[in-house]
Structure 1
Amino acid sequence: MNTIEQFIREVNEAISDVNTDYLLDKITDDFCWTIIGEKTVSGKTEFSEAMDQMRGLPKMKISIEKVMTDQQCATVEGVVVGKNRNGQKKYFAFADIYELEGANDPKIKKLTSYVIDVSKHKQYKESF
């Protein structure tokens, strides 16, 4: 596993743990997170607020299926398993595209997330 892949896996673990302090240290000041079809989060303040909203939800489990990297970007495919506010188990397939800055101490400049609710698909219920 290369250093960029390790970094991306650590970032996903921090997202799952809602480790805002760690994540704020790993994004640039002009960070932009676009969740396609949902919203765009711009800058560290908005990102911190988005993480605070996640803290109110039950803990989610992120299962990474594939990571592809080069020195300036990474793509991650996987499934998030969590519960909604009603306690109902939900499954979301995702693809995240990270644009990175800095070679020795990478920071995330841009994140684009594609998320699909796959809760009705039997294969996810049996796998996770």
Structure 2
Amino acid sequence: MKNKEEFIRRFNEAFSNNDLDLILGHMSDDIEWVFIGEKTMKGKKAVEEFMEPMKNIETLEMELQQIIIQDGVAAANGRMKIKEPTGEIKSFGFADFYEFTGQEALKIKKMTSYVSGIKED
């Protein structure tokens, strides 16, 4: 369990560091990534194309608040603050659910993401 918890932590840090190699390296070839209310991507190529514009986004803050591991699934939630290439700063909360290719595997076969904008005071 501890191994998966550390993996989820590193995986989320990869998003904040735009480390596409680590992200794609831990997704199955037939990955399905569902953004609730927005879109569903299928396959690594679709994920790579989706993430390409994110290379120009700077993460200012990233906080993981919870990581939950049970059997072949995991969940994490937290907050991020980013700076767009335009200079605009945005904050959002997220909750991600991960399904792995196997009980002990560190390859993700499905991700479900909930993302919501947060108004800063």
Sequence identity of aligned pairs in percent? 37
- The total of aligned residue pairs comes to 121
Deviations 1:10-64 (A, max 9, x none): 1001111111111111000110111112221210111111221110222353210
Give the Cα–Cα distance (whole angstroms) in 2 for the partners of residues 2 and 108 of structure 1. 17
Give the Cα–Cα distance (whole angstroms) in 1 for the partners of residues 107 and 48 of structure 2. 16
Give the Cα–Cα distance (whole angstroms) in 2 for the partners of residues 60 and 49 of structure 1. 23
Give the Cα–Cα distance (whole angstroms) in 2 for the partners of residues 87 and 13 of structure 1. 22
User: Structure 1 stretch 68-77 or stretch 85-94: which is displaced more?
Assistant: 85-94
Give the Cα–Cα distance (whole angstroms) in 2 for the partners of residues 93 and 58 of structure 1. 16
Match of 1:126 in 2: none
Give the Cα–Cα distance (whole angstroms) in 2 for the partners of residues 81 and 121 of structure 1. 10
TM-score, structure 2 as length reference: 0.90
Q: Secondary structure at the match of 1:59?
A: strand
Higher strand share: 2
Contact 1:93–1:117 (CA under 8 A) maintained in structure 2:
yes
How is 1:16-95 mapped onto 2 (pairs within 5 angstroms)?
16-95=16-95
Match of 2:106 in 1: 106
RMSD of aligned alpha carbons = 1.6
Give the Cα–Cα distance (whole angstroms) in 2 for the partners of residues 61 and 101 of structure 1. 30
The runs of 4+ residues in structure 1 deviating greater than 6 Å are none
TM-score, structure 1 as length reference: 0.85
Contact 1:4–1:71 (CA under 8 A) maintained in structure 2:
no
Name structure 2 gaps, 5 residues minimum: none
Alignment CA distance shift 1:60-1:44 (3 Å): farther
Give the Cα–Cα distance (whole angstroms) in 2 for the partners of residues 62 and 21 of structure 1. 19
Give the Cα–Cα distance (whole angstroms) in 1 for the partners of residues 60 and 38 of structure 2. 19
Give the Cα–Cα distance (whole angstroms) in 1 for the partners of residues 102 and 62 of structure 2. 26
Aligned partner letter, 1:32: E
